[in-house]
Structure 1
């Protein structure tokens, strides 16, 4: 017996967003999880490696929609991604949803060039541009490490604000973008409120019982502290983004989670309560 459900390819399927997308999409489509290790780590997964075209063909078999997570560690991924999208549409893919970032606009080089080209490459398309993830406070993110080890959030954002988004809300928007009505636009996905890191520390303190502090440093100091883990160039890039946050560049919440996914986005307090044990709650 054959399924009449759409077949959707999710690249980056073993990542934070990918795992949540798989769970949400399973109710609506036949999902093909794809990543460098998905053939070994995810049921029905296929191996997909950027820059290895032989892995593209199997991943695209019978697929009508694709969620694209750009390759990591590639300064200019435009060539790789546009080549793949052309192959995908030649093989019958109708809809392409690109995972971008609020910090990258279509006027930027690199991934921005893909965002500019996508409307002419895919019959139906969307670019999801999420704000900073609430999940950066847990796991292996550098903020999570200093929070866990020192009860400190160390940034160069000064009094700048960020409309942090829960990845679960991003995944809900991704599901709607892949199997719901066509969007054909960029979607800036944020949480419901813009918070400075002083306020983030206050929420963490009140909800976990820990005394969490925001330590504000300058861009050079932050870049130097990040360099051992990320290398000088990427450490400088991350620190520079903090400076841009401090200048108010990305401080406006949107209503896209409600508009596209049909549900209100989680607040940071909601997220902290849900992840209290991971955040070291003392009560």
Structure 2
């Protein structure tokens, strides 16, 4: 029934065991779980992370080399909390089966684009196109565990558009939507590495996750982002919308979980707001 079965560690993005229909098996394969999908980073819609977090079975689709695959992920939970938990993945090629035809319309010519659309709908914010709150809740705990194990640095930036209600009141909700979309696009464009990501936390608050950089580089990134926003104009219906921003920055500390990390970044954000200088386009606090 399945073309391959494998056990993965979604925290380290590694395959620890796999078996194919050919009868070949590999113990401690140690390849990246996303290598098969010809990607250079983890899958945005990672159902193995979701299966591990929610202790449920999930299914998704991936397209590679003009072939369509259905992947089912189920958690393998250890009795002892201190032991590493894994996920069992079942991979099935459904390119020539009727399953795919029941998912997309007959007008869908490129099934790779259709798969991307379906996967993005789960983890992308519909308005802005950056990652959504669900992605934060699923991905950030994995990033934290990864860095605690490797003892490597990581940083969160919590960014807020100041006086967003006034923008909505002045330019209408369409003007507000344009402001959110264009600002999200700006943040996405500034990400320094493929493993860094931006997400809409809620309302007019955005979150940026940074890794693979030193304290000085992260601070420089935050300062540079402030500088870039000073020269950035949001245009809607012929109007130039005046925007200012506040930013809270926090490095990951030993023992921090997701809630504590976000809370500290959020606290730094509001310290930046309370200390903001009306002559400054962007105010930053923390790190």
Larger Rg: 2
Q: Say which structure is richer in helix.
A: 1
* Larger RCO (CA within 8 A; separation ≥ 6): 1
TM-score by length of 2: 0.30
- Counting strand residues as a fraction of each chain, which structure ranks higher? 2
